[in-house]
Amino acid sequence: MVTQFLERIPRLDLVLAGAVTIAGLFALLTRRRGGRFRELPGWAGFWVFAAVVLISLSHAPKYISFALLATWMFAALRTYFFVAPVRPRDRYAILASYLSIPFAIWPAYLGSEGLFLAVVPVSLFLFIPAFLAISQPEKGMLDSMGRTLLGVVIFVFCLAHLGLLAHHELTGVLELFGILVLAAELPQRLAGRFRSGKGWVKPTIGIPISLVLAVGSGWFFGPLCGLVDDDAARAGLLVFVAVTMGALVNGAVSEDLSLTSPSARRGRGALLDRIVPAAYAAPVYFHYLNYFAP
Amino acid sequence: MKRLFANLALYLFHIGFVRPVLRWGVGVRYRRRNLVPRGPCVVVSNHNSHLDAAVLMSLFPLGRLPHVHPVAAADYFGTNLIKRTAAMLLMNGIPIERRPKGGADPLQAIADALEAGESLVFFPEGSRGEAGVVAPFRPGIGRLVRKMPGLLVVPVFLSGPERIWPRGQVVPVPLSIDAIVGKPRSYSPEADPKEIAEQLQKDVLSLAPPAPPLPQAQPDPPLRVAICCLDRETRKQAFHEVCERLGRSEHTLGIADPVIEVDAEGMRELTGPIPQPRGRPWLGALAWIFRTSGLFKGQKFVEMVDRAQIDEALGQRPAARIVVTDGSALVDLLAWAHADSYHGVSSETEMNHLLHFLSGRKPIPASKWWTFIRKAPEVWLVNSLDLAHPPVPDVLVHIRPPVAKLMERLRLRGEELEQHEHDPYLEKLQAGYAVVGELLVKRGKVDFIEFDPTEEPLERLVEEVAEVCLRRAAPETEISPTATP
């Protein structure tokens, strides 16, 4: 009976659930080692939620899954603005950033990539700076603009690509995305990630392993969703590059916001650390599948 | 029956609106919520927003909601029906007169509620005030504590509501809130109400996390002064005198062994949050393996790295206005490289490259590793193992005694002379310091002072350094373009 039940579940969903479970168990077993291992349970918990979002985007009715995605974007953006405050007079720019979520979700819900590209980059990225400029453009406006736009780029623009992926003709590409990001991230998290000005010894261990794991996972699991193995391996490679870039950006942002202490990395600051690499990879993966691996 | 309807309205409002908004809209994070006592208590916190009362009420379990009362100013919340309904009915508030008439005790209603076993939410600041600013706590809370001996007071610090819905703003903007609960305590009824209020304010503020940095709100880094000299005794003496002189005018830290702090109260050893130099055996082993030599031989290399790390840490977390260092890792390494690796003949481009490698701006290309390992292992170790990013000083002081005198001092030391301790080499090394000084001046924003102690007394140097430093440490005043003639 269990076998019959499991057979009805798409393979990639099982693989993603298995990957998250393994990551979670590993995190629970190693958390007592201290250091960066203490951050792993939180990260694994985040991935349980992320896996639910990805699977629901793939299978659940769109009005439910897109509401879940929008809630996720809102919660992420809200926490980001808490840890990266803008000037008090720019509070309405924060409001405008929240309002950008439905504007990004709407074309993604319709599955219209053209509309998405028209609405999000053209309208929002130009509209929000104008909103900031309405308040007296005194010292610090450019910093506020940078902070606001970075939040919108990562937590609205990038994450909305997951919504667009839900319309892909191949089912399972969202689950494959989760598997690839996990494969690209976990070794870097364990061995040490590349961070500007922080040396190269640790990344030289973590980066090659995650490269091999991401490409290997793509090559091995890609055919389960109908991708050619070479295309899927290349998708793994691109996801690996994007995740590494995201981790690099996140490291620099955390440094700038003084979110480097262990308590900050397990508190609200942890959100950036967990979500930014995955968010970074979403547009890269989407455009690769759309244009280069049809 | 009236009480029943009031409780129904209270529960409907909190279950249907307040708690979902706080949970999903705002995302309140409670820290140490379990410290809130089960019996009657007064929850006290900073106050910047109308949201504060709702957040503090949500610290209590739903079952206790009818027994928790925020204390509300009657002169504000009693002015119209809407405010009165919101504050007294939906939030279960107790009104108090902030300016009572006819000698009535404004705290009587609160004391009665506490005696009846109820809990209170109290804002001793009196009003919301300016966003992000904690106003002095008024003595009313002290009088209440005196009136009710043994009363448990729970300090809470709220971070976030002041940015969501500060005074004067109509539309709240969702952001996160941190509610940090402190240990409940009671206060001596003999204490003065003012003292109790002050102590309570300290208790609340002690819970505050460090504020996240705002754009343009970064404090200026300290002014760095480096005292370099090949004669150890002269350098130490100059270092102490410069620290003492600067400390009289500005808060100064001196990085030597040990780190010292100097201010108007005098000079003392620093035992605060700044890490003290610690020799690490593996660094010493690396220095031995890669055969660092001369100024950076063995343990000297470890000390240099430790001091550079402390110097770097001070730049990230400004602890003083001026930081004086006994030597400078960056300048010493550059001068040594000029004298040793380039045999006293180096181009400006080469020195600039070295500067970038040492300050961590550029990695040494792998193709040049072997050259560096052979010729300048100190530079290679610092750069490729990312040991430190020694900062560039703002004021570089090079004390340059005549080489003959320097050799005389070295011989008097009674130890065997090292390989680099001979006239031509020391001449080259001193010239190296001058080359580095000129290079840094050319790059801008660095003052370079060269001084011969045999020509002028040390006091003259100290005064010159003080003059330059105090001019640079003074806050910049903006000059209006219209003010220029």
The answer for B374, left when phi > 0, alpha when psi is -120 to 50, beta otherwise, is: alpha
In whole angstroms, give the CA distance from residue B227 to residue B362.
Answer: 26
Q: What is the pLDDT of residue B482?
A: 35
The residue of B31, B162, B214, B286 whose CB has the most chain A CBs within 10 angstroms, and thus the best one to mutate to test that interface, is B214
DSSP state at residue A223: G
The residue of B173, B382, B387 whose CB has the most chain A CBs within 10 angstroms, and thus the best one to mutate to test that interface, is B173
Residue of A nearest to B167 (CA): A88
As to burial, measured by CB atoms within 10 angstroms (0-12 exposed, 13-18 middle, 19+ buried), residue B355 is: buried
Three-point CA angle B90, B93, B99, nearest 5°: 140
Q: What is the pLDDT of residue B481?
A: 37
In whole angstroms, give the CA distance from residue A128 to residue A151.
Answer: 11
Q: Which residue has the tokens 């793994």?
A: A236
* Cβ within 8 Å, pair B29-A144: no
The Cβ of residue B60 has, within 10 Å, a number of other Cβ atoms equal to: 18
Q: Please give the structure tokens belonging to residue A94.
A: 């924060």
> What is the rounded (10 degree) CA torsion for A125, A131, A134, A137?
-50
- Asked if B378 and B336 count as a contact pair (C-beta separation under 8 A), the reply is yes
* Cβ within 8 Å, pair A78-B27: yes
Question: Which residues have CB under 8 Å from B303's CB, separation 6+?
Answer: B257, B277, B279
Question: Which residues have CB under 8 Å from B60's CB, separation 6+?
Answer: B36, B68, B119
Residue B253 has pLDDT above 50, yes or no: yes
- Asked if A214 and A184 count as a contact pair (C-beta separation under 8 A), the reply is yes
Summarize pLDDT for B77-109 with one digit per residue, the tens.
877 888 888 888 888 888 888 777 777 777 888
Contacts of A91 in chain B (CB under 8 A): 163, 169, 173
ipTM score here? 0.73
Give the β-pairing of B153-159 and B177-181: antiparallel
Partner-chain residue, chosen from A71, A78, A257, that has the shortest CB–CB distance to B212: A257
Question: Which residues have CB under 8 Å from B55's CB, separation 6+?
Answer: B22, B28, B158, B161, B177, B179
Contacts of A144 in chain B (CB under 8 A): 215
* Cβ within 8 Å, pair A199-B385: yes
* Cβ within 8 Å, pair B213-A257: yes
Task: Select from B47, B30, B40, B72 the least CA-distant residue to B154.
Answer: B40
In whole angstroms, give the CA distance from residue A65 to residue A51.
Answer: 12
Which residues, given as ranges, of chain A have pLDDT below 70? 1-2, 5-6, 34-35, 135-138, 194-202, 260-267, 294
> What is the rounded (10 degree) CA torsion for A183, A186, A188, A190?
-150
Mean pLDDT for chain B? Answer: 82
In whole angstroms, give the CA distance from residue A48 to residue B205.
Answer: 37
Residue B476 has pLDDT above 60, yes or no: no
Summarize pLDDT for B141-189 with one digit per residue, the tens.
888 888 888 889 999 999 888 888 888 888 888 888 889 999 998 888 8
Q: Please give the structure tokens belonging to residue B474.
A: 């003074």
Q: What is the pLDDT of residue B212?
A: 63
Task: Select from A217, A215, A219, A216 the least CA-distant residue to A230.
Answer: A219
Question: Which residues have CB under 8 Å from A157's CB, separation 6+?
Answer: A104, A120, A121, A124, A283
* Cβ within 8 Å, pair B212-A85: yes
Task: Select from B228, B468, B239 the least CA-distant residue to B331.
Answer: B228
| B392 Cβ under 8 Å from any chain A Cβ | no
Q: Which residue has the tokens 């620093």?
A: B270
DSSP state at residue B40: S
* Cβ within 8 Å, pair A85-B163: yes
Could you tell me the CA-to-CA distances from B270 to A159, B226, B253, B328, B331 in Å, in that order? 49, 19, 8, 19, 25
Q: Please give the structure tokens belonging to residue B419.
A: 């390989």
Give the β-pairing of B119-122 and B266-269: unpaired
Counting residues of chain B whose pLDDT is more than 70, the rounded percentage is: 92
Q: Report the range of poorest mean pLDDT among A181-190, B295-304, B431-440.
A: B295-304
Could you tell me the CA-to-CA distances from A292 to A219, A230, A232, B110 in Å, in that order? 16, 12, 11, 71
In which element (H, E) is residue B229 found?
A: strand B223-229
Q: What is the pLDDT of residue A105?
A: 93
Residue of A nearest to B29 (CA): A268
In whole angstroms, give the CA distance from residue B85 to residue B12.
Answer: 14
In whole angstroms, give the CA distance from residue A34 to residue A54.
Answer: 30
The answer for B90, left when phi > 0, alpha when psi is -120 to 50, beta otherwise, is: alpha
pLDDT band at residue B483 using 50, 70 and 90 as cut-offs: very low
Q: In what order do the strands lie in the sheet with B119-122?
A: B28-31, B177-181, B153-159, B42-45, B119-122, B68-73, B94-96
The Cβ of residue B464 has, within 10 Å, a number of other Cβ atoms equal to: 17
pLDDT band at residue B254 using 50, 70 and 90 as cut-offs: confident
Q: Which residue has the tokens 């082993």?
A: B285
* Cβ within 8 Å, pair B176-A78: yes
In whole angstroms, give the CA distance from residue B31 to residue B42.
Answer: 18
* Cβ within 8 Å, pair A81-B175: yes
For residue B68, the distance in angstroms to the closest alpha carbon of chain A comes to 29
Q: What is the pLDDT of residue A218?
A: 92
| B366 Cβ under 8 Å from any chain A Cβ | no
For residue A20, the distance in angstroms to the closest alpha carbon of chain B comes to 25
Mean pLDDT across the stretch B15-27?
Answer: 89
How big is the A-B interface in CB pairs under 8 Å? Answer: 68
For residue B216, the distance in angstroms to the closest alpha carbon of chain A comes to 6
Q: What is the pLDDT of residue B349?
A: 85
- Asked if B46 and B125 count as a contact pair (C-beta separation under 8 A), the reply is yes
Q: What is the pLDDT of residue A201?
A: 63
Residue B46 has pLDDT above 80, yes or no: yes
* Cβ within 8 Å, pair A197-B360: yes
Mean pLDDT across the stretch B231-250?
Answer: 87
* Cβ within 8 Å, pair A84-B212: yes
pLDDT band at residue B484 using 50, 70 and 90 as cut-offs: very low
Q: What is the pLDDT of residue A155?
A: 93
- Asked if A47 and A23 count as a contact pair (C-beta separation under 8 A), the reply is yes
Strands (E), B84-163: 94-96, 119-122, 153-159
pLDDT band at residue B374 using 50, 70 and 90 as cut-offs: confident
* Cβ within 8 Å, pair A95-B173: yes
The answer for A64, left when phi > 0, alpha when psi is -120 to 50, beta otherwise, is: alpha
Q: Please give the structure tokens belonging to residue B51.
A: 């949201």
Residue B353 has pLDDT above 90, yes or no: no
DSSP state at residue B416: P
The residue of A82, A95, A138 whose CB has the most chain B CBs within 10 angstroms, and thus the best one to mutate to test that interface, is A82
* Cβ within 8 Å, pair B215-A147: yes
DSSP state at residue B482: G
Residue of A nearest to B211 (CA): A83
Look at the pTM and tell me if it is higher than 0.95: no
Q: Which residue has the tokens 């916001």?
A: A257
pLDDT band at residue B219 using 50, 70 and 90 as cut-offs: low
| B173 Cβ under 8 Å from any chain A Cβ | yes
- Asked if A97 and A156 count as a contact pair (C-beta separation under 8 A), the reply is yes
Partner-chain residue, chosen from B176, B210, B214, that has the shortest CB–CB distance to A82: B176
CA B107 to chain centre: 40
- Asked if A78 and B30 count as a contact pair (C-beta separation under 8 A), the reply is no
- Please give the domain boundaries of chain B with CATH numbers for all domains: 2-99+106-205 (3.40.1130.10), 223-473 (3.40.50.300)
DSSP state at residue B218: P
Handedness of CA B63, B67, B72, B78 (dihedral sign): positive
Mean pLDDT across the stretch B224-245?
Answer: 88
| B213 Cβ under 8 Å from any chain A Cβ | yes
Residues listed for chain A: 294
In whole angstroms, give the CA distance from residue B26 to residue B162.
Answer: 13
| B216 Cβ under 8 Å from any chain A Cβ | yes
Residue of B nearest to A201 (CA): B385
In whole angstroms, give the CA distance from residue B117 to residue B115.
Answer: 5
Could you tell me the CA-to-CA distances from B294 to B20, B257, B353, B375 in Å, in that order? 68, 20, 22, 13
Position A291, amino acid: Y
- Asked if B113 and B177 count as a contact pair (C-beta separation under 8 A), the reply is no
- Asked if A150 and A253 count as a contact pair (C-beta separation under 8 A), the reply is yes
Phi and psi, residue B66, nearest 5°: -65, -15
Three-point CA angle A155, A159, A160, nearest 5°: 115
For residue A86, the distance in angstroms to the closest alpha carbon of chain B comes to 6
Handedness of CA B68, B70, B75, B78 (dihedral sign): negative
Q: Which residue has the tokens 């939410």?
A: B121
For residue B258, cis peptide bond before it (omega within 30 degrees of 0)? yes
